Amino acid sequence: MQSLLPALMFPALFILIFLGIPVAFALIAVAFGFGVVAFGDNVGRILASRVEGVASGPVLAAIPLFIIMGSILERTSIARRLFDVMQLWLGRLPGGLAVAAIAMCAVFAAATGIIGAVETVIGMMAIPPMLKYAYDKRLISGTICAGGSLGTIIPPSITVIIYGSIAEVSIGDLLLGIVAPGGLMVVAFIAYIVVIALIDPKVGPPVAGAAVPLRDKVRLTATGLLPAAILIVAVLGSIMFGIASPTEAAAIGAAGALVLALVYGEFTPKVGYEALRKSVSISAMVMMIVLGGSLFSGVFLVSGGRALINGLVADLTLGPHGLIALFLLIVFLLGFVLDWITIVLITVPIFLTPLKAAGVDQVWFGVLMLVVIQTSYLTPPMAPAIFYFRTIAPPAITYGHMVRGIVPFVALQILVLAAVWLWPALATFLPKNLLGF
C-alpha cells in the first residue's frame, strides 16, 4: 500500500481540480491527506519544514516587485506610446498591424515579465485597428494570444524565477539561456505573419497611413521606445552581468517604472494603489500555489515517489535524449489541463534526480521545458491565452476563431523547441560565455 501512495496522488489531484477546487487548495489537501496516511503524526513537522522553506526563499521576493513594475507600466500611457512607435515603423509591412503587435508584445514582455498583462494591454490596443482594416479574425486571435505567450520565454520572466528557485538553477543563467530562443520565437512569429499576408493580402493588409517625416519618427521613438528600452536594459543587464540579484533587479525595475510614470506626469495615488493592490493579489495567488506545489512534491518524493520514478526510468532504459523527450511530453500533456505554475511545481522536483543522473545540462533542459510550458499557455482546454483574450475580444471574434488562430503559432513554438534541441548552444552559449563578464 505504501508504494502505491505516490502513484495515487496525481489522480487524486486531478479529481479535486476537475471538481472545481482551486489548484492551490487542491495541492495542499492532497499533500496533507496523503501525508497523514504515509507519516501519521509526523506529517505536521514535515509540512512545516516545507512551509518554512517557501517562506524564506529569497528569489521569490522578486515576484511582487516585478508585478508592481508591470502594473505601473500597464496603467500609464507607456504601453500606448510603445505601440504607436511600433505601428509607425512596421504598419506598412504586409500584416503590419499584427507584426507591430508581436513586436510590442516582445518589448512589453521584456518590460514586465507578466504574461496576462502583456496580452490584455496589447490586445486592447491592437484589436480595434486590426478589425478596422479587416484583418482575418483567426490571425488577430493567434497574434494576440501568441504575443501574450512571449512573457514566458522573454526575460525577465516570472516563470523563469519560479523554475530557477525550484530547480536550484542560476536565475541569471536561465535568463541568458532564453534570450536566443525568445528572439527566435519572435522572428518566427513575424515571419509567419508577413508570409501569409504576402500570399493573401486580405488576411492582413498593410496600413496606408499618411507619411510621417523621419524627424518626427525619431522624436516619437525617442520619447516612446527609448525610456522603456533603458528600463529593460537596466533590469536584465543588472542580472545578466552579475551586478544585482533578481530581487534587486526587480526593485530597480519597479523604481524605474515609477520614475517613468512621474516623468510622463501620469503617476497618481490611484495608479500607485492599483499597482500595489494587484501586486498583493497576484503575489498571494502565486505564493499559495508555490506552497501547495512544494507540499505536494515533498510528500510525493518522501513517501516513495523518488524511488517510483527512478524505478520507472530504469525499467524504460532510456538514454538522456529519450528521458528528456519523455519528460517534455509529460509537460506538454499536462499543459492541456494545468496552468504553468502547477506544472513547474509538481514536475521539476520529480525530474531533477533522473536528469542529473543522466548528466543532462540543467540550463538546456530548463530552456526546453520553458518553451514547452509556453505552449501550455495556448493549448485548450485550459489555455489561459484564450481566457484572457475572450475578456477583451468583441463578440465578432468567436471561440472557433481563437482556437484555429493559435494552431500555426503552436506549430512555430514546436519548431523553436526542435531548434533548441538540435542546437543546445542556443540555450547554453550565453550563460557559459557572458554571465558576469
pLDDT at res. 115: 67
pLDDT in tens, the chain (437 residues): 456 777 788 888 888 888 888 878 888 898 888 888 877 777 777 777 767 766 666 667 777 888 888 778 777 777 778 778 888 888 888 999 999 999 988 888 887 766 666 787 788 888 988 998 899 999 999 999 999 888 888 887 888 888 988 888 888 889 889 999 999 999 999 999 999 999 999 999 988 655 677 787 788 788 878 888 888 888 888 877 778 888 888 888 889 888 888 888 888 888 888 888 888 887 787 788 888 888 888 788 778 777 777 777 777 777 889 999 999 998 888 888 777 777 888 888 888 888 888 889 999 999 999 999 988 888 877 778 888 888 888 889 998 999 999 999 999 999 999 999 999 999 999 888 875 44
SS3 154: coil
Q: How many helices (H) and strands (E) in the chain? A: 22, 0
In eight-state DSSP terms, residue 210 is: -
The x, y and z cell numbers of residue 259, run together, are 520614475
Place of cell 478596422: 132
Q: Would you call 359 exposed, middle or buried from its count of C-beta atoms within 10 A (0-12, 13-18, 19+)?
A: exposed
Q: Which amino acid is at 118?
A: V
By residue count, the chain amounts to 437
C-alpha cell at position 240: 545578466
Cell 533603458: give the residue.
Answer: 230
Report the run of H or E that residue 339 belongs to, with start and end: none
Distance CA 37, CA 39 (A): 6
Q: Residue 437 has what pLDDT? A: 42
Report the C-alpha gap between 50 and 54 in whole angstroms: 6
- Residue 131's H or E segment, with its range, is helix 115-132
Question: Of the candidates 144, 119, 96, 169, which has an alpha carbon nearest to the alpha carbon of residue 348?
Answer: 169
Model pLDDT, residue 417:
96
pLDDT of residue 125: 84
What are the start-end ranges of the E strands in 69-219?
A: none
Work out whether the CA dihedral 186, 389, 220, 201 comes out positive or negative: positive
pLDDT at residue 208 in the model: 67
